[in-house]
C-alpha cells in the first residue's frame, strides 16, 4: 500500500514546504441502500451493490487512518447507514479511533434497542432528515408511507437517550412554504441545530429540477424567515442555511474548496473530494483497498487537480474572490456546462451564467410530479 509519495510523484505540491492541511472531517458513505426514494437523492445513478461494499475491518482501518491524518469527526452516512447489520461495530471502530461520531439517518429503520446499542458503541450525535413538517407531504416526497411518523418517534428516542440532535430539512418549491412549521418542528423535537438546506441540483436532483426549483419569491421569503428565526431563537436553536445557486451572482466555496477541508469514502471504497464527485468523468479516484487515505488526500492526481487556484480558467484566474469561493462547485460546473474545469455558472462573470435563468424559467412552467429512484431490494427493514 503506498504511503506518502515523494519526488516527481507529487509535482503539484512538491515545491511547497508542507503537504495540504489535514481534512476536518470524513464523510463515510457506508452503503447506498435506503428505504426512501427522495427525488433529490445525491447518490450516484449507478448504486453500489451490497457485495461491493467495504467490510467492517476495512472501514475500521479507514477510521484509524482518518484520525492519523488529522480528521476530528466522521459522518456515518449513506444511503441509510443503519441498513448495515454491522452499524454498531462501525460506530465502535470510529469511536475507538478517536473520531467524533455523527450518524446521518432517515430514522425509519432504528428503534429503541438498536439506538441504545449505538449509544453504547460510542455514538455522539444524530442528524435526522425530514422531508416536510406535514406528514402527508413528507411521506410523498420521501416516497415512504408512514415514514414521517417513524421519524418523529425516532427523534423522541434520540432526545430520551440524551444525544444531541440536528434536524436536516431539505427544502424546495414543494415544501418551502412550510418552513416556519419545520422550524417549529425542530424546537418541538428538542433539536439543538436545524440545517435548512436548499436542494443542490446535481445527480438525481438534476433530473427533478423542474419540480423542485423554488421561485424567487419563495427564496426571498425563506431567507427572511431564517433571518428572523435566528434572531428570535438565538440561544435555543442554531440554524444553518444552505442556499440554492440558481439565483446567485457569486458561487459558494463548495465543501470549503476542492480537497481543502473534507473528504468522502464511497461504499465501494473510492476516496472523493465530495460525495457527488463520482459524477465527474475522466477521474481515476483512488480506492482505500489499494492506497492509504493519506496518499489519496495528499498525493493523488484526483485530489490535486482542482486544489488551489492554478487550475482556474478566466475569469476565475486572478479574481479577487478566487481564494474565497475556490471556483465554486465542480460538480455543478460539469452538470451545467459539460466541463468540470469551467467557471461555476453560479458566478455572474461565467459565460454560462444564463443557463441558470433558463432553468428557472423552465421550472416555472413545469408541474410537480417527481421521478423517483426505486429503493434497493436488499435494504434491511428490521427496526430492531
> First and final CA of the chain: distance in angstroms?
38
Whole-number Å distance between alpha carbons of 244 and 115 = 34
Kindly report the average pLDDT of the chain as a whole number.
91
With a cut of 80, say whether residue 221 has pLDDT above it.
yes
Would you say 41 is a known binding-site residue? yes
- With b meaning 16 or more CB within 10 Å and e meaning fewer, what string describes 218-245? bbebbeebbeebbeeeeeebebebebbb
pLDDT (tens digit per residue) in 180-205: 999 999 999 999 999 999 999 988 89
Rg (CA), the chain: 21
pLDDT for 42 equals: 84
What is the arithmetic mean of pLDDT over 163-188?
97
What are 86-138's pLDDT values in tens digits? 999 999 999 999 999 999 999 999 999 999 999 999 999 999 999 999 999 99
CB 237 within 8 A of CB 183: yes
* pLDDT class of 16 with cuts at 50, 70, 90: very low
Is 34 flagged in the annotation as binding?
A: yes
- Separation between Cα atoms, residue 149 and residue 132, nearest integer Å: 11
Q: Residue 331, annotated ligand binder?
A: no
Strand partners of residue 169: 130, 196
Mean pLDDT of 136-155: 97
- Give the global pTM: 0.91
Q: Is residue 237 within 8 Å of 194, Cβ to Cβ? A: yes
Amino acid at each position: 500500500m503506498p504511503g506518502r509519495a515523494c519526488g516527481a510523484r507529487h509535482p503539484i505540491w512538491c515545491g511547497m514546504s508542507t503537504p495540504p492541511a489535514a481534512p476536518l472531517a470524513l464523510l463515510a458513505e457506508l452503503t447506498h441502500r435506503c428505504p426512501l426514494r427522495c427525488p433529490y437523492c445525491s447518490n450516484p445513478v449507478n448504486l453500489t451493490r451490497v457485495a461491493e461494499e467495504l467490510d467492517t475491518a476495512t472501514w475500521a482501518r479507514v477510521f484509524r487512518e482518518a484520525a492519523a491524518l488529522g480528521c476530528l469527526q466522521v459522518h456515518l452516512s449513506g444511503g441509510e447507514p443503519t441498513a448495515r447489520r454491522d452499524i454498531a461495530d462501525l460506530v465502535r471502530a470510529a469511536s475507538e479511533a478517536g473520531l467524533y461520531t455523527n450518524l446521518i439517518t432517515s430514522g425509519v429503520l432504528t428503534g429503541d434497542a438498536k439506538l441504545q446499542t449505538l449509544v453504547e458503541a460510542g455514538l455522539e450525535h444524530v442528524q435526522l432528515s425530514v422531508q416536510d413538517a406535514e406528514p402527508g407531504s413528507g411521506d410523498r416526497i420521501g416516497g415512504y408511507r408512514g415514514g414521517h411518523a417513524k421519524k418523529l418517534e425516532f427523534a423522541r428516542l434520540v432526545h430520551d437517550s440524551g444525544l444531541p440532535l440536528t434536524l436536516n430539512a431539505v427544502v424546495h418549491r414543494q415544501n418551502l412554504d412550510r418552513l416556519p412549521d419545520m422550524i417549529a418542528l425542530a424546537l418541538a423535537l428538542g433539536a439543538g441545530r436545524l440545517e435548512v438546506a436548499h436542494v443542490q441540483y446535481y445527480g438525481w436532483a438534476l433530473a427533478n429540477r423542474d419540480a423542485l426549483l423554488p421561485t424567487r419569491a419563495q427564496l426571498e421569503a425563506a431567507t427572511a424567515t431564517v433571518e428572523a428565526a435566528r434572531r428570535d431563537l438565538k440561544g435555543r436553536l442554531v440554524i444553518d442555511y444552505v442556499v440554492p445557486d440558481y439565483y446567485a451572482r457569486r458561487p459558494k466555496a463548495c465543501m470549503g474548496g476542492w480537497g481543502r477541508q473534507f473528504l468522502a469514502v464511497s461504499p465501494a471504497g473510492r476516496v472523493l473530494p465530495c460525495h457527488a464527485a463520482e459524477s465527474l468523468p475522466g477521474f481515476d479516484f483512488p480506492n482505500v483497498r489499494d492506497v492509504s487515505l493519506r496518499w489519496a488526500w495528499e498525493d493523488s492526481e484526483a485530489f490535486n487537480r482542482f486544489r488551489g487556484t492554478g487550475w482556474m480558467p478566466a475569469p476565475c484566474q486572478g479574481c479577487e474572490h478566487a481564494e474565497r469561493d475556490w471556483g465554486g462547485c465542480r460538480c455543478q460546473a460539469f452538470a451545467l456546462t459539460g466541463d468540470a474545469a469551467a467557471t461555476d455558472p453560479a458566478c455572474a462573470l461565467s459565460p454560462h451564467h444564463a443557463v441558470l435563468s433558463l432553468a428557472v424559467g423552465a421550472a416555472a412552467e413545469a408541474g410537480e410530479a417527481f421521478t423517483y429512484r426505486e429503493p434497493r431490494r436488499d435494504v434491511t427493514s428490521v427496526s430492531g
